[in-house]
Structure 1
Amino acid sequence: MKTTNLFKAIAFVAMIIVSVMNSEVKAQDNFITNEEVKNDLVVAKTIFKQDGTYLYNHMRYEFTYDNENRLTGKTASKWDSLQSRWTPYFKMSYQYENNEIIMSYARWNKAHKAYDKDMKKSVYEMNEENMPVAYKSYEKNSEKSNWTLVSYNRIDHTANLLAMAE
Structure 2
Amino acid sequence: MKTMNVFKALALAVITLVNLLNTQAMAQNNFITNEEVKNNLVVSRTIYKQDGNYLHNHMRYEFTYDEQNRLISKTASKWDGTVDKWIPYFQMTYRYEANEVIMSYARWSESQETFSKDKKETVYELNENNIPVACHQVTGIPALIAERR
Equivalent of 2:142 in 133, 142, 146: 146
Q: Deviations over 1:28-74 (max 9, x none)?
A: 34000000000110000000000000000000000000111110100
- Aligned-residue offset at 1:107: 0.4
Q: Which amino acid aligns with 2:103?
A: M
RMSD: 1.9
Q: Does residue 133 of the first structure (1) align with residue 129 of the second (2)?
A: no
Q: Name 2:83's counterpart in structure 1.
A: 83
Unaligned runs of 5+ in 1: 1-25, 149-166
Which structure is higher in RCO with an 8 Å CA cutoff and minimum separation 6?
1
The offset of 1:77, in angstroms, is: 0.4
TM-score normalised by L of structure 1: 0.68
2:121 aligns with 121
Q: Runs of 4 or more off by more than 6 Å in structure 1?
A: none
Q: How far apart, in 2, do the equivalents of 1:129 and 1:79 lie?
A: 40
Q: Structure 2: how far apart are the matches of 1:146 and 1:29?
A: 43
Superposition deviation, residue 118 in structure 1? 1.1
The AA in structure 1 aligned to 2:67 is N
Aligned residues: 120
Give 1:96's aligned residue.
Answer: 96
Change (3 A) 1:53 1:27: closer
Q: What residue is the counterpart of 1:43 in the other structure?
A: 43
Structure 1 vs Structure 2: percent identity of aligned residues?
61
TM-score w.r.t. structure 2 length?
Answer: 0.75
Alpha-carbon displacement from aligned partner over 1:116-158 (angstroms, at most 9, x marks no partner): 1111111111122322221011223xxxx7337xxxxxxxxxx
